[in-house]
Each structure stands twice: as structure tokens, then as C-alpha cells.
């Protein structure tokens, strides 16, 4: 596998949660900086390549925003991002498959926002985490469940139905911490070299 995959769940969760907040607050420069830092933390992409990876993530997100988005463009940018991520992360996954699952995650999250039944989103995130981190579906399910909770929480905030937005942002970050701690725990239990 080359260099061991390294994961600091708390730092990854922090940059991801803050990135979500910057996105929904439309603080674009902050979002770019946080995306760069997330790339460096989660996949160990070095600068300046981390900026290129962030560019691909931003282009994929921008291409996806319209309801009638160009799926080929979104897939293309996500595939480019995941090719870079795989090169540096110490993980083995198919970048095209990861990009396809990320696109499905985008679509499921939008489609199921505000709905109780999030089974499709849970399945997509289970598949995505299993693909990225080389976990079995059973191993990936716990992390996917925490990520679904994070997604539901951001929906609560952005729909303006949260009665405690600041508390919900804190809870969202905690759910992401638990998500990444679950991934780290399963990799460690399987004897995968995971360094911090």
C-alpha cells in the first residue's frame, strides 16, 4: 500500500464541519481554505497540489448545484479529485467508483433533506466509506450512520427549523468525529497501519 494511511478523526471532522458552515454561510474564500486544509488532513495531499484538489471539489460542487446539473461534468471533477487523493493517501480505491458514489451522496442528500426515511442515503454513505477506506459494508455502516446524522443536522440548520443553530453546529462536528473515529477503529482492528 506504500505509506500508511494517516487519519486524525478530530481534525478531519473540524475542517469538514467548518467547511459545511462556510458553504452554507456563502463564505467562499474561507471555504476554499478549509477545503485545502481538509485535503491535506484527510488524504495527505501536499501543497500546492492540495489547492488543485480543492479546485476540483469546488468545480464539482458548482457543477452540481443546478437541479438539472450536468452529471458528466460533476463525475469528471470528482474523478480528478479522487485520483489525486488516492495518489497521496496510502489508500487503494477506484477513483471513478468513489466519484460516482460521491455524486450519489450529493443527490441523495438533496432528495432526502427533511425526510425521515434516509435508508438510501445510509446505503450510499456505507458504500462510499467501504470503497474509500477498504472496509466491509458491515464495518462501514457505523461511520455512515454518524454521517447521516451530520447531514440531517445540517438540513435542520439550513432549513431554519433548528431551535439551537450553534448547538447543532457543535453536534454536527461531534457526529463527524464519531464517523471518522469509527473508520479509524475498524482499520486499526483489522491491523491496517493507521498513523496520526
User: CA 130, CA 26: separation in Å to the nearest integer?
Assistant: 31
Q: Per residue in 131-162, pLDDT tens?
A: 999 999 999 999 999 999 999 999 999 999 99
Report the C-alpha gap between 79 and 14 in whole angstroms.
24
Give the count of domains, the chain.
Answer: 1
On whether the pTM is more than 0.85, the answer is yes
Lowest-confidence region among 3-12, 57-66, 110-119, 150-159: 3-12
User: What Rg value do the Cα atoms of the chain yield, rounded?
Assistant: 16
pLDDT at residue number 189: 86
Provide the residue range defining the domain that includes 27.
5-195
What string of DSSP letters covers 78-131? Answer: HHHHHHHHHHHHS----HHHHHHHHHHHHHHHHHHTT-S--HHHHHHHHHHHHH
Instruction: Say yes or no to pLDDT of 193 above 60.
Output: no
How confident is the model over 24-55, as pLDDT tens digits? 999 999 999 999 999 999 999 999 999 999 99
Amino acid at each position: 500500500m506504500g505509506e500508511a494511511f494517516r487519519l486524525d478523526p478530530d481534525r478531519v471532522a473540524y475542517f469538514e464541519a467548518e467547511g459545511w458552515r462556510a458553504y452554507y454561510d456563502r463564505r467562499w474564500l474561507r471555504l476554499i481554505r478549509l477545503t485545502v486544509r481538509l485535503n491535506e488532513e484527510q488524504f495527505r495531499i501536499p501543497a500546492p497540489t492540495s489547492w488543485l484538489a480543492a479546485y476540483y471539489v469546488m468545480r464539482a460542487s458548482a457543477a452540481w448545484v443546478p437541479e438539472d446539473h450536468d452529471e458528466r461534468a460533476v463525475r469528471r471533477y470528482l474523478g480528478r479529485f479522487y485520483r489525486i487523493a488516492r495518489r497521496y493517501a496510502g489508500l487503494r480505491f477506484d477513483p471513478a467508483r468513489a466519484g460516482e458514489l460521491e455524486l450519489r451522496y450529493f443527490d441523495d442528500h438533496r432528495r432526502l433533506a427533511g425526510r425521515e426515511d434516509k435508508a438510501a442515503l445510509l446505503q450510499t454513505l456505507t458504500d462510499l466509506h467501504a470503497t474509500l477506506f477498504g472496509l466491509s459494508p458491515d464495518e462501514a455502516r457505523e461511520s455512515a450512520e454518524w454521517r447521516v446524522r451530520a447531514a440531517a443536522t445540517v438540513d435542520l440548520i439550513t432549513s431554519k427549523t433548528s431551535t439551537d443553530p450553534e448547538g447543532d453546529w457543535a453536534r454536527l462536528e461531534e457526529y463527524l468525529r464519531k464517523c471518522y473515529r469509527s473508520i479509524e477503529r475498524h482499520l486499526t482492528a483489522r491491523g491496517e497501519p493507521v498513523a496520526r
